[in-house]
Amino acid sequence: MDKLSALLLLSLALFALGLLGVIVRRNLLVMLMCMELMLNGVNLSLVTFAQQTGTAAGAVLVFLIFVVAAAEIAIAIPIVLLLVRQKRTLDAAAFSDLKG
Amino acid sequence: MTSLLTLIVVLPLAGFLVNGTLGNRLGNRFVTVVGCGLPIASFLLAIRCTIDLLAGGSEPLLETAYTWATIGERTFEVAFYFDRLAAVMTLIVTGVGSLIHVYSTGYMKEDKSYARFFAYLNLFLFFMLLLVLGRSLFVLFVGWEGVGLASYLLIGFWFDDPEKARAGKKAFVTNRIGDAGFLLGLFLCYWGLGTLDMDHINAAFASPTPPAVSASLIGILLFIGATGKSAQIPLHVWLPDAMAGPTPVSALIHAATMVTAGVYLVARLSGLYAVAPEASQVIVVIGAATAFFAATIALAQNDIKKVLAYSTVSQLGFMFVALGVGAYGVGIFHVYTHAFFKACLFLGAGSVIHALGGEQDIRKMGGLAKKIPITFVTFLVATAAIAGIPPLAGFWSKDEILWFAFGSSRGGSPLLWAVMAATALMTAFYMFRLLWLTFFGAPRMDKEVEHHVHESPRSMTFVLIALAVFSAIGGYFDVPHFLSALPALPEPRAAAEGLEMPLLWISIAIALAGLGGAALFFGRNAARAIRVAPRLAPLRSLLAGKYFIDELYDRLLARPLFFISDRLFLRFGDRVLLDGTLDGLARLAQRTAGALGRVQTGNVHLYALFVAGGIVVALLWSFGHG
């Protein structure tokens, strides 16, 4: 198995781990962290493909994603804080007010 | 060419517009001047036109007011046609109409809707003149519908009484049934002849190569329209109810002018009916039956206006019999005399009602002869005229009808004569009964009412006197001779040769017998009538109930219609079918939403699982279609 395949497998593992975390963990902060994990799995695959094709576009996109992720987390954390202030818990199951 | 004919028609319309829009603001005096002045102006113009007509050797005056539409080579024009027949009718309509307008100024003085009344009367006059003067059946039809509208408005003039409003509706709807026949006849006529100008229609049927369309079919269809407007069986039911309107309206519209429109229509198209023996037979049968049955009903009515209403229906039957046996001029002659004496009778009845403060029941009258002498004398003259006592106007026209019913070579027969003679006898009887119960004997009204009995104002008595004079001498103007341009009066049958004078004596005897019979039964406070009454009770209730035709129509037509409307259209069609469909759709959407809403648990993990599942499915699908 060459290095590229190993890296791609790693990125897949990271993404799958993140997705699994989002689905099974109940803690909101952990879910956010798992989402970051998924993002970084994708980033890793982007960098790997950029290496493979020898172009800079993939690497540039990764930086863009970093910036966006930073902004996103800057909004997501306050939202979580506000939610916690409402219900005094981090359990995602508590926030099911939109139940149909 | 002058435009006098257009002016005759348009003047009353102007009266309607002025009085209808400004009348209430400008005061009653103004309304009176406009409302009476314009019809009188029309009357004077009609005289002027008649003089022109006679001076021009009876060449009809023609005038095109307006071109309505041009379709291909055919034009539809609002054109006026003034021959001798139209002249007679125009003079009756404007002359009697003007007199009744003048009478109304007294009769309606206290009414708060004075301006509206005159506006409607002028509107009626406008449409009636359109009907009489129109050259084309199309224009006639506009007038025909218009007078129906005016009649509706005036019957329901006191519309805050639901009974009166209902009478107006009944008149309108009944006429609509007749109009359906009229329209079909009109279409058939246009289809077959390509023209609606009545002089052309007459000429076409008189020509040696008649058009390839059945004259009888057109004739019968148009006659169906005439039965509606002229209150013949089976559409006669509206006219007696129309008496709910103010009395001048009954006199003008429902006695003297509008109801004779059907007679006028047949006479106008005499060229067509002359070659339509089947249609003529229908007219004779309907006319004779109507005359007879209406006269029997009139025997047992107790409302002064109802008696007169049924006598109108009966006299209209007489006119149609004359038309049916081919004596068109004689039919119009009776229209002409009838206009005078029936208007006089109605206005006299109005004067009586006025004197008694609104009482219409002849059982509560009596002994009025001395208290309101002018009304009495004029009413007496008109009663004698309608009963056919010589030498008053009604005698001449009715005797001619009886003669042609017997002797005409185009459908006259002894049987027809016998029916009409019996009707004439009843006419004389019920009219003198009315006279006796109203004016003679001991007063039967309350003391309070009796104390207030008074003669009507001069504007009313003047009109009564004028109409009574015409009822007396009107018969000396030989209308059938004047109308010689219509198809010639039919030749007498061979069997009737030489019987004219004996029949004339018989018809005088009939009129006097009616008078004598009424005097016998209703003289001395109706002593004999009261004695005979119990024995005739079943017959009386049948006649007083008008043969229960209203009830029959109610059972046969009105109730099934109501049932269908209610059950089929309202309860099933509207509520079940339409409302049900809409409600069902709404319920379906609601239920679907309810089912789909279950998916929205509010649980973020479940959503995430769905997303993941969706991704997997999408990936598998995309690999599969690689």
Q: Is B604 on the interface with A (CB under 8 A)?
A: yes
Cα separation, B481 vs B547, in Å, equals: 39
**Residue B122 token pair:** 């002028």
> Which residues lie across from B63 on neighbouring strands?
B80
The secondary structure of residue B158, as a DSSP letter, is: S
- CB distance B347 to B463 below 8 Å: yes
Q: What local confidence, expressed as pLDDT, does residue B524 receive?
A: 75
A100 to B609: CB separation less than 8 angstroms, yes or no: no
Transcribe B483-545 into DSSP letters. TTTSSPPPPBPGGGTT-HHHHHHHHHHHHHHHHHHHHHHHHHHHHHHHHHGGGGHHHHHHHHT
Look up the ipTM and state it. 0.81
The secondary structure of residue B370, as a DSSP letter, is: T
Residues A54-64: tens digit of each pLDDT: 888 888 999 99
Average pLDDT along chain B, 626 residues, taken 10 residues at a time:
82 92 86 92 93 84 86 87 91 93 89 90 94 92 93 91 91 92 93 88 85 88 93 90 89 88 93 90 94 92 92 94 91 93 93 87 84 91 91 90 88 90 93 90 81 85 92 86 78 78 89 89 78 80 82 87 89 90 95 86 83 91 85
B602 to A23: CB separation less than 8 angstroms, yes or no: no
pTM (global) more than 0.90: no
Q: How far is A20 from chain B (nearest CA, A)?
A: 9
Q: What local confidence, expressed as pLDDT, does residue B626 receive?
A: 67
- CB distance B237 to B549 below 8 Å: yes
- CB distance B255 to B347 below 8 Å: no
Q: Is B624 on the interface with A (CB under 8 A)?
A: no
Q: Bin B326: left if φ > 0, else alpha if -120 < ψ < 50, else beta.
A: left
Cα separation, B328 vs B269, in Å, equals: 10
Q: Which residues of chain B lie closer than 8 angstroms to A99, CB-CB?
A: 600-602
A26 to B612: CB separation less than 8 angstroms, yes or no: no
Give the nearest partner residue to A23 out of B598, B601, B605, using CB atoms.
B605
Transcribe A7-26 into DSSP letters. HHHHHHHHHHHHHHHHHH--
CA closest to B601 among chain A residues: A99
A99 to B602: CB separation less than 8 angstroms, yes or no: yes
**Residue B159 token pair:** 């519309």
Q: How far is A59 from chain B (nearest CA, A)?
A: 25
- CB distance B507 to B514 below 8 Å: no
Helices (H) and strands (E) in chain A, counts: 3, 0
Provide the greatest CA pair distance for chain A: 51
Strand pairing report for B61-71 and B74-82:
antiparallel
Q: Which residues of chain A lie closer than 8 angstroms to B596, CB-CB?
A: 100
Q: What local confidence, expressed as pLDDT, does residue B442 receive?
A: 83
Residues A1-59: tens digit of each pLDDT: 688 899 999 999 999 999 899 888 888 899 999 999 999 999 999 999 888 888 888 88
- CB distance B374 to B465 below 8 Å: yes
Q: Which residues of chain A lie closer than 8 angstroms to B598, CB-CB?
A: 100
Residues B208-228: tens digit of each pLDDT: 887 888 889 999 999 999 999
A93 to B603: CB separation less than 8 angstroms, yes or no: yes
Q: What local confidence, expressed as pLDDT, does residue A18 receive?
A: 92
Q: Which residues of chain B lie closer than 8 angstroms to A22, CB-CB?
A: 605, 608
Q: Is A90 on the interface with B (CB under 8 A)?
A: no
Q: Which residues of chain B lie closer than 8 angstroms to A96, CB-CB?
A: 601-603
Q: Which residues of chain A lie closer than 8 angstroms to B600, CB-CB?
A: 98-100
Q: Is A19 on the interface with B (CB under 8 A)?
A: yes
Q: Is A24 on the interface with B (CB under 8 A)?
A: yes
CA closest to A96 among chain B residues: B602
The secondary structure of residue B80, as a DSSP letter, is: E
